[in-house]
Amino acid sequence: MMDDSFNRENSLIEDDNSLIEDDNSLVEDDNRRKDNSSIKEIHIKKPLSSKLIVELLDTYPNLKRITCPISLYNRISKKYIDVLNKMGVHIKIKYNYNHPKKYGNDIGLKVVDLIHNGKTPLEVGNILNLSIKKVYYLRAKFSNPKNKLKTGKKTKYSKKQINSIKIQKEKGLPIREIAEIENIPLRTVYYIIKNYMN
């Protein structure tokens, strides 16, 4: 019997301690509210819900304007917009394009230098810890437009051989003879004529 009363008293003390912790967290929230009382405009990235509206109005008591991207604005309920307008909080569309660059000029110039020094995009990606796709992007962005890398497999045949096939086709030679002269498969001659003659 005595043990039960002792356990009850201990549980009450623990409950009182938890109340004190909760009271402290409320004080911190009040301090945060004081800091946010001067904020009149915020930008949101989540769709507005009744719960979020209440949170925003509690956190920012002097809120006058909420901005969001157009994709989010189109998903906001008209009722929410009307209620917020009546409360003096206006929702505006704002394009936030000014996100920081992930890769600076120094990395882009390193990519260009490594490629000019004979490294392949795969090697450059391994050296700088970048994906191949990012290497191609940075190479295209930071180099002379005339020196762009081509994606995909390199052609097996040189420009000289491709030009030779074009000239022979223009002279009227049959494709079978062109394949024998160039010593390449017949289907390759058809492929080159189809893709490089225009």
pLDDT in tens, 38-52: 888 888 888 888 898
pLDDT of residue 39: 87
Distances (CA, A) of 158 to 149, 155, 183, 194: 17, 7, 13, 16
pTM: 0.37
SS3 25: helix
SS3 66: strand
pLDDT of residue 20: 28
How far is the C-alpha of 26 from the C-alpha of 30, rounded, in Å?
6
How many CB atoms are closer than 10 A to CB 159? 9
Q: pLDDT tens-digit profile of 66-110?
A: 998 888 888 898 999 999 999 999 999 887 666 667 777 888 889
How many CB atoms are closer than 10 A to CB 90? 14
Amino acid at 103: Y
Q: Is a pLDDT exceeding 50 seen at residue 14?
A: no
DSSP 175: H
Q: Is a pLDDT exceeding 80 seen at residue 191?
A: yes
Q: Which residues contact 68 (CB under 8 A, 6 or more apart)?
A: 43, 44, 45, 48, 76, 91, 92, 93, 94
To the nearest whole number, what is the mean pLDDT of the chain? 77
Cβ contact 124:114 at 8 Å: yes
Q: Is a pLDDT exceeding 50 seen at residue 6?
A: no
**pLDDT-derived band of residue 12, with 50, 70 and 90 as boundaries?**
very low
Query: Region 136-159: what's the mean pLDDT?
Result: 71
Q: Is a pLDDT exceeding 80 seen at residue 30?
A: no
pLDDT of residue 157: 80
Q: Is a pLDDT exceeding 70 seen at residue 17?
A: no
Most confident of 59-63, 152-156, 194-198: 59-63
Q: Is a pLDDT exceeding 60 seen at residue 181?
A: yes
Residue with tokens 């260009």: 112
Query: Region 170-187: what's the mean pLDDT?
Result: 90
**pLDDT-derived band of residue 193, with 50, 70 and 90 as boundaries?**
confident
SS3 43: strand
Distances (CA, A) of 111 to 18, 131, 154: 57, 12, 20
